[in-house]
Every structure is written in C-alpha cells, then in structure tokens.
Structure 1
C-alpha cells in the first residue's frame, strides 16, 4: 500500500480521547504497526508471486531439457553411430530422471511454501477492513466530540443544556465503539506481526530441504551420466580443441571457402 493511501491523520481531536500519559505513545505505536503490516502484506504478496515464477521456470527448464534429449535421440546420426546412440540414450534417461525429481521438488514447494504464503495473504483483507472500521469510528467520535464541545462553550441556558445532554448521550456509544475497536487493534496487531517468523520459518526450512534433496539427486544423476558418456576421458579443453580441428577441416572445403 502506498504512503499516499494512508487514510489517517496522526493528529488528535481538540479534546484528548485517551489519557495524556499514554495517548502520544499509543498513537505512535498504532500507526507504526499499521505501516509494518502494510509492508508485510506487500512483501508476502511479492514473495508468493516470485515463488510461483521460480517453480514455473524450473518446470519449463526440465521439460525443455527432456525435449532436447528426445530430439537428439531421434537424430539420424543415432542410426549410424552406436556410440552416439548409447550416449543419447543415457542423456535422455538422465533428463527424464531430472524432470521427475524436479516435479517432486516443485510439488513439495507448492505444498510447504506457496500454499502457506497464499493462505497468509488471505488474512490481510479482513485486517485492513478492521483498520478502516477503526478509522471510521474515530471520525464519528471526533465529529460528535466537536458537537459536545460546541454546546459546552455556549451559555448554559435551558435549551442549550438539553442539547448538550442529548449530544453527550449520542457521543457515549460512539466513544465506546471506538475504544473497543482501538483496543482490539492495539492488542492484536502486535501479536499478528510478531507471529510472522513462527509462521514462515517452517516454510523456508522446507524450501531449503527440497532444494538440498533435489541437487543431491542431480549430482548423482549427472555423475552417473558422466561415467557413461565420458569413455574417452577427454577434458573440456581437449574436446574444444578437437571440435576446432574438425571445424577447420570443414572450412578448408571448397564449398565453404571464402570468395
């Protein structure tokens, strides 16, 4: 929520609503927690959105890897070179295993992180509504308080005293309503805000465990794949040099020679 959307004025009505000994501190703490909760709401929504994007990207990545290995396996070269066919079959198996483990990781993150974030976000609308109801009660209180003060400042004639009594009677339930709403928020907002760590900690721990399990399995899968396809024992530099040599041979052909 933007700062310009704060629907409150931190100023007080002409007459103190709460005792002078606590009013300033209470007002400061109240608005401080309102701002903290708005920030928490924004951060929760952003984290939920980012986690969804992350898992969607993970799924897209593993599906693309499976497609690439499948395309390589169907390449005509596999029909001509048994060693190449064996390597592509090993790669295709590894990519499918990776995809399966990735899906398990995504499902775990969905249950332990994304769904709890969504449920947590669902609490904020009712909390924001309680804040708005408290503000409306405050405005009603200030309006009727000003009405009482107006009659208190006038000459104490019979009609004025009657109107003053009526205004005070009208003010009393409104004051009680505001005080009840104000007290509830002052008691419950700190509890809600301070509980965020206890709520989110299990989710973040589950996220870390899911990542650890996944990458541990990936290490096993790709180590096995390396053993299957790296029979030549060539280093990356040697493979690069070998490819460059083959490419230079192709460049030497007359059909690709520069004009």
Structure 2
C-alpha cells in the first residue's frame, strides 16, 4: 500500500470516531506492544494488521501471530501508516470490539474487580485497566457514563492489558454494585475524605474487627470521576469508603495513581 489517501486508509483512520466504531463493531489498535497482545491467544478476532516494511523486519512475532489467528497482513509505506494513525509506530490492527458480560464475569468468582464510575478521561481509564491487570484483578467494569474503552487513547493507555482480562461496559452503577455484592464481594469506594485509611486496613487484613472492611476478602473497588470523584449517592452505594493516606504535601493523587495503590493493596492482602 502506497497511497495515504486510499479509501482503505481512510476507513482505518475513521475508527478514531466513536460513531464509526459503533457501526462497524471494530476498533483500532496502535503500536507494536498493543498489536502484539491483540494477536495473542484469547484476544478478540483480528481482521487486519498493517505494518511498514521496517516493522515487518523488527516484529516478526507480530506477523506470525497475525497469521496464526487468521488475520490479513498488509504492508504499507510509512506515509500510509502515519495516515492511518499518528501513533502507529509502524503497526496498527483492526480488531473486533472487546465485550464481556457481567454474568460471565461473576460466574468466574473474581476476588478483585475495578469499577469505573463517571470516568471520562480515556488516558485515565486505560491506565486503571492496565493497573487492574497488573494487580491481578479478575475484571474491570465501566459504567454507562464512563468513556468508551475503545477510544484510541484509552486503548493505547492499556498497553495491551485490554486483551488480558474481561472488560464490561455499559451497566449503571447501582446495578453493578448490587450484582457484585450479591456475588459475595465487598464494595469499597475510593474517596479522599473517607473515614477508613488504606494503611490501617492493610494492618488488619485477614483479621479485621467487626465493622471494618477486610482487604483480604473478595473486593470490588469503585473509582470516580477525575475532577470530582464519586458523588454522594455513589458513595452511599458502597459498603465502605476508603482513603489513600497522603504522607507528604500533595493535595491529592490522580485517579490512576490512587486506583493502582488501592488495587495493589487488595492484591497484597489477598495473597
């Protein structure tokens, strides 16, 4: 492929639009790391993988993986890949959207789940998903008011973790909380002014007194909007609210950092 203005190139570039993704049921995966994970075992169907000649030489495992999953491999000039995506790094793929069902997630009896409520920033959402994967979470849930996880920036921020664990999108927060609690998970809300200190909970994990959340138990963490956190009505849905202690002079932590700290605390306690 040599023409950056070809219709196929425009069609791939158009996947940056949510409406186009919704109509096609596919999304764009950019960069060698993410595409490598996309052609790995257990990932959704990959339709096409586009690489520059240099990327074909540098990443033979991507080409091999694409052939193994039945994807079409196409070579394009650097100008073509740049026209498809400014973040291509010589490699992009068109992949079926990631869809998981909450029933299936709960049937697997997860011990750690991350719930994103009203999270609008795609970079933050993708980074939380990546942290949840690294901490050993069983699933991530994005409520109806959260960003589309197939947003290009969100996909890039997951660094391939989007293909490692179930991601549920679309349900309302009250339904999610009720379903998680019914499945035996304690629902904790992350909030900067919460009464429970995360470090204190770690100290008593596995032997928490009555009325104190036990981080060693199966847990779902609810994380709120980047700017205003969780609304009062959302906090009221949780079994307890927990704050990350701030030892220095920082006023607060950003969403992704706070989420990583909370998820790793649960992962450590559950070990």
Normalised-by-shorter TM-score class: under 0.3
Q: TM-score of the superposition, structure 2-length normalised?
A: 0.19
If the length of structure 1 is used for normalisation, what is the TM-score?
0.20
Which of the two has greater helix per residue?
1
**Higher relative contact order, structure no. (Cα contacts within 8 Å, ≥ 6 residues apart):** 1
Greater Rg over alpha carbons, structure? 1
